[in-house]
Amino acid sequence: MPLLTQAMIVRTRFAPSPTGTLHMGGARTALYNYCLAKALGGQYILRIEDTDAARSTQEAKQALIQDLKWLGLNWDEAPYHQSERYAIYQDLAQQLVSKGKAFYCFASDQDIAKARESAKYPAAFQFQSPDRDLTLAQAQARLQAGEPAVIRFRNEFKDQSFEVHDLVRGKVVLSGDMVGDFVILRADGSPVYNFCCAVDDGLMRITHVLRGEEHLPNTLRQLMIYQALSLPIPQFGHLSLILGSDHKKLSKRTGARSVGDFRQEGFLAPAVINYLALLGWSDPKSRDLLSLDDLISVFTVDRLNPAGPMYDEARLRWMNQQYIRQLQPTALWQAIVPYLNQAAYQLPQDPAWQTKSVARLMQDWHQLTDCIPVYAYFDQYTPPALDTQATSLIQTKEVRQVMLAWQSQLDTIDTDPNQPLDPITYKSFIKHIQNHCGVKGKQLFMPIRIAMIGCPQGLDLMSTVELCSLDLLRKRAAHYLSLPGLTIAD
């Protein structure tokens, strides 16, 4: 079947149920639908499937919308809400009843449970409603008497097979007898998922449906509904589940989390998009790094892989690092401000310092949260606590001597204390201490680093010198040399 026939406007949709957070699998489904529509000059629609009133929440819906916007997957038509379309579903269900393609069923839950219990194979149980052959007049009389009833679809396709040319999985044959007469409208008038989904895809002229493979069994009921209502049938593509390192469906234990979690953990939207795109789809040019625009320009469904892709946190982190490095310093600073505020660091307000600091410090960041331990070194008021190694090192005479020599070098100059040391002066200090204390290499640099940031390893000394004012360096040296429990030598 051709993907596109002439004059057909491609319309895809993402149809989340607002019952929880947007997970990776959902975001990937949204992304592929978005790319497919955009690649073919079509439209991408957001439809909120909120017919499960007990489980749908306003908060979940808001979060979904926020996450999709954050990812940059903006829809072309205002989001549709199925909860606002009940009249449409009710009307179509009535139409099916009047044509004999659906019927009122008065069986109670207890009746159905009883029938299930006495079934030979409860797992394959299909309810045979005693009301299947009531006339419409008989059913209406009972309704008027106040008896509650659901509307069931009359499955008259039991001897038929439905062949689907799935865009991902190829030919799939669904046998009509896999389902019984299924409910389309509950007794309270609320529609069930399969009914609204098929109705909406038909009425909204959706041409392609990419969704998770867990929906493959639903396709059978939906095909019956399209047929009964003479609605156009979209092309389906059922995407494989994302797997964890244990080869099972990705779980919390193997790294599953929501888009909101990724955002909070300091992943950038383009990195998440890039990563999800390659989780089940491959670039014809085998590139690792692709923007959303790149994806749109090359996206085709034939590169969707039917094999379940495995989630790889290290690869996502690597991609995120590449995107962090591509950010301009000002943008990167803006991106880390929320984390720095959360950590309540008191950092210089000077924009020049801010951009210089990110440019200096970001090389090893894989997530924006990696800025948190690093910026602790530059808090203007709270010196970082001594780490364990530094705590024992500063008890030694050799280390203290170097620290004291560093402190006195800092006192030899009277340049502006609000400015950092210039590199030439810093190097001359180092030379002097080296000669004065007779130490070099680690013995020289570890104590100086302790005097600056309270730990012997970590930050590169030159970066620290460039990002600390002379005043801060003096205060830090005085602080670390004055910590209680030290035996002052010399």
- Active-site residue numbers? 252
Q: How far is the CB of 456 from ligand GLU (least distance, A)?
A: 52
Q: How far is the CB of 216 from ligand GLU (least distance, A)?
A: 10
Q: How far is the CB of 197 from ligand GLU (least distance, A)?
A: 5
Between 19 and 369, name the residue whose CB sits nearer to ligand GLU: 19
Between 100 and 217, name the residue whose CB sits nearer to ligand GLU: 217
The rounded distance, in Å, linking the Cα atoms of 251 and 365 is: 26
The rounded distance, in Å, linking the Cα atoms of 426 and 430 is: 6
- CB neighbours of residue 344 within 10 Å: 8
The rounded distance, in Å, linking the Cα atoms of 56 and 96 is: 28
The rounded distance, in Å, linking the Cα atoms of 258 and 26 is: 9
- Provide the token pair at 357: 């600091």
**Bridge pairing between strands 11-14 and 43-48:** parallel
Q: State the alpha helices, DSSP H only, in 369-422.
A: 371-375, 388-393, 397-410
The rounded distance, in Å, linking the Cα atoms of 303 and 283 is: 8
Between 236 and 378, name the residue whose CB sits nearer to ligand GLU: 236
Instruction: Tell me the sheet residues that pair with 236.
Output: 209
Q: How far is the CB of 106 from ligand GLU (least distance, A)?
A: 29
Name the site residues for ligand GLU (rule: CB under 6 A): 15-17, 49, 197, 211, 215
Label residue 194 exposed, middle or buried (CB < 10 Å: 0-12, 13-18, 19+): buried
Between 49 and 370, name the residue whose CB sits nearer to ligand GLU: 49
Between 82 and 401, name the residue whose CB sits nearer to ligand GLU: 82
Q: Which secondary structure element, helix H or strand E, spans residue 234, and what is its range? A: none
Cα 261 → chain centroid = 7
Given a contact cutoff of 8 angstroms between Cβ atoms, the answer to whether 271 and 338 are in contact is: no
Q: How far is the CB of 420 from ligand GLU (least distance, A)?
A: 54
